Amino acid sequence: MKIGELAKRSGLTAHTLRYYERIGLLPPAARDVSGNRDYDESILRWIEFLGRLKATDMPIRNMLRYAELRARGESTGTERRELLAAHRDGVRMRIAELQIGLQILDAKIAAYG
């Protein structure tokens, strides 16, 4: 799969895919005979997971830490779990904060009505 197709299937642009590779979020892509990036299906699962981390506001530098641990192999499991657990706790707090905001908005909107 070339970068254009991966772009379509992943929902990212080719620009962004190259950017992610450049900064280390994606592993260096294999190349075909003419030097174009040639992706394996499996990259889609990784991109999807990155998308989840992003959707929950994990900053790129932390995704990068996770990506590096992942690249280092099995032995980094504990660290990875800890990283995700810390992130999860942050997400929980963020949800709580948004719920408070929601209540205040509801009250304010009601006051206008």
| Interaction site with DNA (CB under 7 A) | 2-5, 7, 13-16, 18-19, 29, 31-37, 54, 59-61
Nearer to DNA, 54 or 88 (CB): 54
Give the DSSP H/E element, type plus range, for residue 105: helix 77-112
Q: With CB cut-offs between 5 and 8 Å by kind, which of DNA, a second copy, none does residue 103 bind? A: none
Using CB distances below 5 to 8 A depending on partner kind, what does residue 95 bind out of a second copy, DNA, none? a second copy
Q: Is 105 in the site for a second copy (CB under 8 A)?
A: yes
Q: Are 99 and 93 in contact (CB under 8 A)?
A: no
**What is the spatial distance between Cα 22 and Cα 112, in angstroms, rounded to a whole number?**
50
Helix extents (H) in 38-76: 43-55, 60-72
State the nearest-atom distance from the C-beta of 8 to a second copy, in Å.
23
SS3 at position 37: strand
